[in-house]
């Protein structure tokens, strides 16, 4: 069910609006200021569009466009004017908002960060993209994990960004930490359309979790983004889908976190988020709770290595015009830390 896009809101429903934002060109501070004002306008449009909307979600790159420009002049900070304007928009329109910023990083490349701001203007969730879309994106890998918060109506919310959603481990981490709704914001272009759709559905079904997903939309003269706002129910069924590709359209649906909770407790067949840690519980009391997955063990111990590792051709961003990096990542795996010590 989607309550006719949220027009018929149930007492336990959470209405989500996904803004298929027109892809901008942002090269200067003045451009950034104008684009921030446009996002603020669309927060007001979302509220006027649907009085019962609880959460409005903007895509990745909503303020910056797809240039991958790391010019310090157009980087944001958490205490800067852009975030202040987004906070005020949520207050003025009594609505929760999910936003994207490219965040200045004095210690290295900027972070690709996401914020969820409540209807009182408080930042409730702060996330840094864990898996930049290499080799295309130059952003520093995220270092704050995946937070899960209490959102509208007490729904448990998580946020991941774009390429993060291609890793099933990301959605599983969100669900494992309690998320009932996982937001995925993106700037993807048309070649990713099919994989965008099936990963959004798989992330939902494999974790008994609603996924709310939206891309930038339209053309900036170079890139063509696809919109593709999708809200997927916990059984993997699409309940709202922006298939027209119309820029600035807001795709809406009501979702039911209470039914997510019910399914996680009462489903037997395909309760995969539970069964993953309780293998074969029909045969073995409580199921097997070991970790039989070599890649997990190796990653934790700093030994992650593919059988074809030596033959991988693209291992930095030079093919996309970025210089080869020289800094080591600070958050090294256990084995590397121990060796360094």
Instruction: Convert the pLDDT of each residue in 115-153 to its tens digit.
Output: 999 999 999 999 999 999 999 999 999 999 999 999 999
What pLDDT sits at residue 94? Answer: 98
Q: Out of 76, 90, 98, 162, pick the active-site residue.
A: 162
Q: Is 129 a catalytic residue?
A: yes
Beta bridge partners of 160: 184
Detail the DSSP E strand segments found in the chain: 14-19, 55-57, 96-103, 111-117, 123-128, 148-150, 156-161, 181-186, 210-215, 217-219, 224-226, 230-232, 238-241, 250-255
Asked if the structure places residue 65 within a domain, the reply is yes
Contact 106, 120 (CB under 8 A): no
The phi-psi region of residue 51 (left if phi > 0; otherwise alpha if psi is between -120 and 50; otherwise beta) is alpha
Asked if the structure places residue 284 within a domain, the reply is no
User: 23 and 63: one domain?
Assistant: yes
Provide the domain count of the chain.
2
For the cut 80, the answer to whether the pLDDT of residue 337 exceeds it is no
What pLDDT sits at residue 283? Answer: 98
Alpha carbon distance 191, 55 (integer Å):
28
Mean pLDDT calculated for residue range 200-214: 98
Q: Out of 60, 82, 180, 254, pick the active-site residue.
A: 60
Q: Out of 98, 129, 174, 249, pick the active-site residue.
A: 129
User: 100 and 181: one domain?
Assistant: yes
User: 199 and 326: one domain?
Assistant: no
What pLDDT sits at residue 244? Answer: 84
User: 245 and 304: one domain?
Assistant: no
- Band (pLDDT 50/70/90 cuts) for residue 330 is confident
Asked if the structure places residue 27 within a domain, the reply is yes
Residue 40 in tokens = 């603020």
What pLDDT sits at residue 5? Answer: 84
User: 266 and 310: one domain?
Assistant: no
Which structural domain range is residue 131 located in? 3-275
For the chain, the residue count is 341
Instruction: Convert the pLDDT of each residue in 241-298 to its tens digit.
Output: 998 889 999 999 999 999 999 999 999 999 999 999 999 999 999 999 999 999 999 9
User: 177 and 317: one domain?
Assistant: no
**CATH number for the domain that contains residue 78:** 3.60.110.10
Asked if the structure places residue 68 within a domain, the reply is yes
User: 198 and 130: one domain?
Assistant: yes
Asked if the structure places residue 288 within a domain, the reply is no
Total Cβ atoms within 10 A of residue 11: 6
What pLDDT sits at residue 225? Answer: 93
Boundary of a domain, candidates 275, 305, 322: 275
Instruction: Convert the pLDDT of each residue in 9-38 to its tens digit.
Output: 999 999 999 999 999 999 999 999 999 999
User: 162 and 56: one domain?
Assistant: yes
Contact 208, 265 (CB under 8 A): no
For the cut 60, the answer to whether the pLDDT of residue 210 exceeds it is yes
Instruction: Convert the pLDDT of each residue in 158-182 to its tens digit.
Output: 999 999 999 999 999 999 999 999 9
User: 187 and 333: one domain?
Assistant: no
User: 268 and 310: one domain?
Assistant: no
Instruction: Convert the pLDDT of each residue in 82-105 to its tens digit.
Output: 999 999 999 999 999 999 999 999
Asked if the structure places residue 148 within a domain, the reply is yes
User: 205 and 247: one domain?
Assistant: yes
Share of the chain above pLDDT 90, in %: 91
Average of per-residue pLDDT values in the chain: 95
Count CA atoms within 13 Å of residue 64 on its CB side.
27
User: 92 and 227: one domain?
Assistant: yes
């Amino acid at each position: 069910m989607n309550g006719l896009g949220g027009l018929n809101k149930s007492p336990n429903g959470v209405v989500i609006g996904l803004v298929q934002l027109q892809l901008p060109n942002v090269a200067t501070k003045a451009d950034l200021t104008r684009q921030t004002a446009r996002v603020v306008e669309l927060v007001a449009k979302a509220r006027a569009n649907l009085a019962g909307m609880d959460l409005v979600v903007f895509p990745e790159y909503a303020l910056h466009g797809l240039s991958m420009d790391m010019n310090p002049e157009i980087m944001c900070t958490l205490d800067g004017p852009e975030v202040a304007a987004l906070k005020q928009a949520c207050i003025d329109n009594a609505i929760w908002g999910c936003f994207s910023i490219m965040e200045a990083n004095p210690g290295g490349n900027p972070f690709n960060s996401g914020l969820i701001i409540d209807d009182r203007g408080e930042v409730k969730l702060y996330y840094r993209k864990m898996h930049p879309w290499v080799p295309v994106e130059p952003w520093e890998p995220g270092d704050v994990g995946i937070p899960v918060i209490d959102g509208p109506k007490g729904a448990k919310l998580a946020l991941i960004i774009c390429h993060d959603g291609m890793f099933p481990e990301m959605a599983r981490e969100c669900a494992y930490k309690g998320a009932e709704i996982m937001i995925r914001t993106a700037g993807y272009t048309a070649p990713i359309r099919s994989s965008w759709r099936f990963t959004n559905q798989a992330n939902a079904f494999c974790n008994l979790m609603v996924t709310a997903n939206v891309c930038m939309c339209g053309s900036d003269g170079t890139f063509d983004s696809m919109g593709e706002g999708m809200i997927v129910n916990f059984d993997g069924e699409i309940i709202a889908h922006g298939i027209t590709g119309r820029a600035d359209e807001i795709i809406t649906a009501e979702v039911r976190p209470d039914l997510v909770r019910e399914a996680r407790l009462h489903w037997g067949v395909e309760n995969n988020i539970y069964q993953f840690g309780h293998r074969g519980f029909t045969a073995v009391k409580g199921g097997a709770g070991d970790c039989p997955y070599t890649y997990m063990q190796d990653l934790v111990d700093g030994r992650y290595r593919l059988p074809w590792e030596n033959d991988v051709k693209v291992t930095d961003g030079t093919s996309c015009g970025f210089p080869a990096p020289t800094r080591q990542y600070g958050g090294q795996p256990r084995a590397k830390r121990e060796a360094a010590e």
